[in-house]
Amino acid sequence: MRSPSLAPSHDPVYLVLCDYGKLGSAYVETPSVSTERDVVENILRGEYDRPLEVTAFDIGEGWSRDVSEDVAGRVVERARSENRKLAEGAKSFVEKHLDEKLEPELCLGPD
Give the predicted TM-score (pTM) of the model: 0.83
Binned at pLDDT 50, 70 and 90, residue 104 comes out as confident
- Reply yes or no on whether the pLDDT at 107 is more than 90: no
Q: Which helix (H) or strand (E) is 58 found in, with range?
A: strand 51-58
Q: Which domain holds residue 41?
A: 13-102
Q: Report the alpha-carbon distance of residue 83 to residue 11 in Å, rounded.
A: 29
- Reply yes or no on whether the pLDDT at 4 is more than 80: no
Query: Is residue 4 in a domain?
Result: no
Query: Is residue 49 in a domain?
Result: yes
Query: Is residue 33 in a domain?
Result: yes
How many domains, in total, are found in the chain? 1
Binned at pLDDT 50, 70 and 90, residue 33 comes out as low
